Amino acid sequence: MISDWLERISPCIRPARPGESLLAYTSRKEIQPGWTEPLRIIYDHELVLFSKGRFAVEIENKRYPCPAGTFIIIPPGRWQTSWETAGQPGHRYWSHFDWVYQESYGNTPSMTYHPAKPCFNACRRAPGFVPRKILHGRIYAPQRTYELADRLCALQERASEHDRALSRALLLELLLELLDTRTRTAAVPGRHAGLAQRVVDLLDQNVEQHGNLRIQDLLEKKLGYSYAHLCRVFRAKYGVPPLKYLNAVCISRAKLLLRDTDLHITVIARRLGFKDPLYFSQLFRKITGLPPSQYRLQTQTRVVPAKVAGK
């Protein structure tokens, strides 16, 4: 399993040489449209997280698309460059590191830009148990991953001996979050079953905001997983995606209000967070087969006055 080798790593963040800033090796930055990184070779490994925008990384003439929500680990000793591809602002994190502890870096360089001649003997390559392929893919828990990256950068900004020791632990946690496939199994046992229930609870709490709700943003922000992952977990447990569940709950509440009250349909729509009553009516009809007004006529219980004796 790919995750087995992760139990053997002890990552070490690249330290700054005398006179250098630690932020050159572990930091975060807003990226301007059209940004390009010159062709270069690095001598350690570089983890890059893309949190906003669209980028591309090219390693030895092979291009890797890196939109927001993805990561890549660039190995040493290979010509590589990267750039912003959409002409829009972006944001990325980066950290130079080695897979195992390095006692001393001496005066070895960190990188060489083309056309200077690189010193390949200075490359600190991965140990044999680390996969040789380029590690590149989607970030499955964006919120938690970016929070870890922010904390890692904050520790580097303080840069005391204690903070540097904590940085190693945070980098290990970050790498495991990105690379340990055991956290992304297709089954829904244990905490994934609980995760599906947390989605239910969150949606139930926000039914009355249905019409104004961006479900993807809500779930990713509150639960710290990608929407695609949450949909897989939710569908595996309940048979429908979160949006269909929310629609069903919303229309169930609308049915009760139509049946048991005389509230105008527009008022019911707004109570459930719909600014557009027409959209609410269309959704109601799509799910029930009837427009709200007809459903009310067929189901509302009306009280018939009792006949008075002798009249």
**DSSP of 100-122, one letter per residue?**
S--S--TT--SEEETTSPP-GGG
Closest CA to 57 of 79, 23, 80, 76: 80
Greater model confidence, 4 or 49: 49
- In terms of domains, do 178 and 205 share one? no
Confidence of residue 17 (pLDDT cuts 50, 70, 90): low
Under 8 Å CB-to-CB from 196, ≥6 apart: which residues? 188, 233, 234, 236, 237, 238
Q: Tell me which of 211-220, 225-234, 258-267 is least confident.
A: 211-220
Average pLDDT over residues 13-27: 73
Q: Pick from 184, 208, 225: which residue ends a domain?
A: 184
Q: What percent of the chain has pLDDT over 90?
A: 47
CATH number assigned to the domain comprising residue 218? 1.10.10.60
The pLDDT tens digits for 280-305 are 999 999 999 999 999 998 886 554 44
- In terms of domains, do 171 and 68 share one? yes
- In terms of domains, do 217 and 136 share one? no
Whole-prediction pTM: 0.62
- In terms of domains, do 39 and 163 share one? yes
Q: Pick from 184, 203, 227: which residue ends a domain?
A: 184
Closest CA to 182 of 241, 140, 128: 140
**pLDDT given for residue 304 in this prediction:** 42
Q: Pick from 184, 203, 225: which residue ends a domain?
A: 184
Under 8 Å CB-to-CB from 204, ≥6 apart: which residues? 249
- In terms of domains, do 126 and 219 share one? no
Q: What percent of the chain has pLDDT over 70?
A: 86
Any domain includes 59: yes
Any domain includes 19: yes
The answer to whether 66 and 55 are in contact (CB under 8 A) is: yes
- In terms of domains, do 223 and 170 share one? no
**Domain span holding position 61:** 2-184
How far apart CA 181 and CA 185 sit, in angstroms, is 7
Q: Is omega for the bond preceding 89 within 30 degrees of 0, making it cis?
A: no
- In terms of domains, do 170 and 204 share one? no
Any domain includes 25: yes
Q: What sign has the CA pseudo-torsion 241, 247, 250, 255?
A: negative
How far apart CA 101 and CA 124 sit, in angstroms, is 11
Any domain includes 247: yes
**pLDDT given for residue 89 in this prediction:** 92
Any domain includes 310: no
- In terms of domains, do 89 and 43 share one? yes
CATH number assigned to the domain comprising residue 17? 2.60.120.280
The pLDDT tens digits for 116-166 are 999 999 899 999 999 999 999 999 888 889 989 999 988 877 767 787 788
- In terms of domains, do 96 and 67 share one? yes
Any domain includes 261: yes
Any domain includes 144: yes
Q: Does position 308 have pLDDT exceeding 60, yes or no?
A: no
Judged by DSSP in three states, 150 sits in helix
- In terms of domains, do 144 and 230 share one? no
Please give the backbone phi and psi of residue 295, each rounded to the nearest 5 degrees, phi first. Answer: -60, -40
Indicate the number of domains in the chain. 2
What letter does residue 129 receive in the DSSP assignment? T
The CA-based dihedral angle spanning residues 274, 277, 282, 284, taken in that order and rounded to the nearest 10 degrees: 70
- In terms of domains, do 217 and 73 share one? no
Any domain includes 218: yes
The pLDDT tens digits for 223-258 are 888 888 888 888 888 888 888 888 888 898 899 889
Q: Does position 175 have pLDDT exceeding 60, yes or no?
A: yes
- In terms of domains, do 70 and 211 share one? no
Rounded to the nearest integer, the mean pLDDT of the chain is: 85
